[in-house]
């Protein structure tokens, strides 16, 4: 479990704040940024790489598995 620090920015978790996705914590600031993110945003890759860390943490996957994961999300 990775509930202590935000998987994206590393901020420490506050009581009752943020999201837990697949046993990984995302702080409220990153949650807001992700919710308003567009593909042409300069920070897009930063947040996507943070979300990929969740995939790797949960599945113990390599970066080679990431395109398969992202394509599975696009089909939903």
Above 80 in pLDDT, residue 61? no
| % of the chain surpassing 90 pLDDT | 29
Above 50 in pLDDT, residue 27? yes
Q: Secondary structure of the chain in the HEC alphabet?
A: CECCECCCCCCECCCCCCEEECCEEECHHHHHHHHCCCCCCCCHHHHHHHHHHHHHHHHCCCHHHHHHHHHHHHCC
In tens, the pLDDT along 8-21 reads 998 888 767 888 88
**pTM for the model:** 0.67
pLDDT range class, residue 1, cuts 50, 70, 90:
very low
Above 90 in pLDDT, residue 40? yes
């Amino acid at each position: 479990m990775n509930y202590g620090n935000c998987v994206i920015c590393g901020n420490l978790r506050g009581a009752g704040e943020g999201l837990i996705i697949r046993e990984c914590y995302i702080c409220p600031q990153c949650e807001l940024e992700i919710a308003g993110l567009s593909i042409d945003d300069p920070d897009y890759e930063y947040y996507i790489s943070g979300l990929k860390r969740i995939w790797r943490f949960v599945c113990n996957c390599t970066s080679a598995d990431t395109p398969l994961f992202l394509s599975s999300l696009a089909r939903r």
